[in-house]
Chain A
């Protein structure tokens, strides 16, 4: 069985360590806050440093206490608030350790496309390009293939790019893949998934080691 969204988020959270400053993109990445180790400091580009998981109780909704996806959150001790220009100075200036973004397509060289489906047009860039440029490490979370079975991991992105060569790690419902100088390397596979299944779902060449460890969650 491919991993649920919660399990993808849980695996991504294992990349985080106390003291890290982490920005979570809208959608799937938002779930990571609930699984992160204590001491990770989450930055929301709308001007919060230090917040926790999404509040489930709708009665707690406070319009001024939201993450970048508009969802209600609460601050942790030591949090601070700032404006959008200050927030992106922090992002662009290289002060974010890890950004975790959703993806539509990732290329084997780490190009990311995540802001527009060409068939729809228009698009919503949000803070994705700034994060792809400024974060020291970029992790992309996405389903390995689209709902109609098309590969999202490709030799070249066919959707408009968010950034070129910006992705370091991809966590999907099937596998963990790392962008290396030699190419895209398969690092882990999900429980109950075979290497052959990952290769079938990947529309691009992968570097596959003799032994592929199972994801730890």
Chain B
């Protein structure tokens, strides 16, 4: 059962990921990306990381993708049609993407060293453990990510603001 779900989610994820790359309109890309993201969320659930799945959906689908859509709408990019790169480059892009895939897959051996932990103690995805870890072991990164956001916020405001209206 779950295996089938896995396959289904994977197929959809890959297909819609491809559509992200290949659709002409940016809006469609965004929508396909959202589909992919949902599929990934599904995988998280399969992996017993429900909290992660929830956060994932909220952050990505709820925030990031909305941001994308917002920008597209704001700049009125819906009508912008795809301008293709030169054919040679496009072929090169696809080929190198493919080769990268092959190379990575081919070289990703040695998974046997990954210990398959006890099947019973599947507690890793629980909120309790997550929270405990995040606020104790990962306190510093956690705080630092606030700096990160502060940076992004200050920066985004500074850059995206239109200067014309501001006269000191």
A and B together in one complex? no
Residues of A within 8 A of B (CB): none
Residues of B within 8 A of A (CB): none
